[in-house]
Amino acid sequence: MRSNKLGIVFVVFFCSCLVLSGCSKREKISGLQQLNSKEFAIPTGTVTDQLVLSKLPNARFKYFNSVMDAALSVKAGKADAAAYDEPILKNIGFT
């Protein structure tokens, strides 16, 4: 379970970097608690939303068909952050 929580932190950091590189007017995220009450993009059919809620109980969600769609929604400003499992992201080359 600890690795899942660390994976979420990693993904939030990754997506925060996408936000910062794609949208200069957005808030800079420097800590996990800044994402409480923010909108997360996540792939449909995963437990990622439950993992995010375990750390950020006020998080809101938008569901996407793939990890890439979720990440791109952050870059496009349609969501504040994206979350997914770190081991799977490593497997598909996001790290």
Q: What is the pLDDT of residue 27?
A: 77
5's tokens: 């929580």
Residue ranges covered by each domain of the chain = 2-24+34-92
Q: What is the pLDDT of residue 20?
A: 45
Q: How is 2-41 classified by DSSP, letter by letter?
A: HHHHHHHHHHHHHHHHHHHHH-TTSPPP-SGGGGTTPEEE
Q: How far apart are alpha carbons 88 and 84 in whole angstroms?
A: 8
34's tokens: 């800044």
Question: Quick one: which of 49, 54, 87 has its CA closest to 70?
Answer: 49
Q: Which regions of the chain are under pLDDT 50?
A: 6, 13, 17-23
What CATH number is given for 2-24+34-92 in this structure?
3.40.190.10
Q: What is the pLDDT of residue 19?
A: 47
Q: What is the pLDDT of residue 94?
A: 60
